[in-house]
Amino acid sequence: MNAQEQILLAAILAGLVAIAVTVAIEKFGGVIGGILGTIPTTIVPAAAFMWMAKPNSDAFDPAMGMVPVGMLLNAIFLWLWRVVPPRIPLWDFGKRLTIITTINLSMWFAGAAISVTLFPEQISMSVGLIALIIGVLLGLWISLDHKPAPRGKNRVGPLTLACRGIAAATAIGLAVWLSQLGSPLLAGMASVFPAIFLTSMVALWIAQGEDVPSGAVGPMMLGAMSVSFYALLATFTLPEYGVLIGSAITWVASIGFVSVPAALWLRFNDNRRVEG
């Protein structure tokens, strides 16, 4: 498989698996949907094809070490969807949504630029582990601030879902391409560009109003740490077991060690509030 075919296949796979997230949140509500929507999906083909592009730890480890940093930025990006809207005047819908989106994306790009500039490749794995721990603690804290997470009442249209898949496919295709060019830190950051979260928030906001996306923020922040866990573990499993078996082991472990405990924690919190 040549380099162009790797980029195309990774992008197509990422686009297809990405579309399911909006549907999951819409169907199951913000809590369960938020967890289902953040299990490792696009990172699976991204990591696999980045390893195939340059199958050596010197290039792969820095890229994967940068993923938890990007996911921490994504968690902050999601949190901004809860804290920024109340501070924006009640202008017309389109203007308000555009300003909120611009502010949130600007914060992400600023954080990404600082991270890629400051963190050297040699310590990227250590930085990634610290980012994972901070992300988990932040997700636990934000999820304590309960917001209603109702099921959506309106369907997200096919055009919106298609745009969402295209955005995710573009981000992952770019990540694999950067990896092939020998830019592991940029590749790692590009692989977790919040294309899925951005399109999820905007699509749900348009279709369902503010309640569903706002309620999904805490669960999505916490569940997203499974992607960070996947990236760090993949640096051991993919070289050791190969792309197919290594990816399967890493995916199952990420769900077992992050997604399932996150779901149990959120359910425990909900039950405690009901009893209270």
What are 221-236's pLDDT values in tens digits? 888 899 999 999 999 9
On whether the CB atoms of residues 227 and 38 are closer than 8 A, the answer is: yes
Place 106 in a pLDDT band, splitting at 50, 70 and 90.
very high
- Alpha-carbon dihedral of residues 178, 230, 267, 29, nearest 10 degrees? 30
Place 276 in a pLDDT band, splitting at 50, 70 and 90.
low
Digit-coded pLDDT (tens) for 49-75: 889 887 887 888 998 999 999 999 998
**Does residue 26 have a pLDDT over 90?**
no
On whether the CB atoms of residues 204 and 17 are closer than 8 A, the answer is: no
On whether the CB atoms of residues 128 and 234 are closer than 8 A, the answer is: no
Q: Residue 15's CB: how many other CB atoms inside 10 A?
A: 23
Q: Residue 138's CB: how many other CB atoms inside 10 A?
A: 17
Instruction: Please give the average per-residue pLDDT across 92-111, as a whole number.
Output: 89
pTM attached to this predicted model: 0.82
**Does residue 102 have a pLDDT over 60?**
yes
**Does residue 168 have a pLDDT over 90?**
no
CA geometry: angle 223, 170, 8, nearest 5 deg: 110
With the C-alpha atoms ordered 104, 31, 43, 130, is the resulting torsion angle positive or negative? Answer: positive
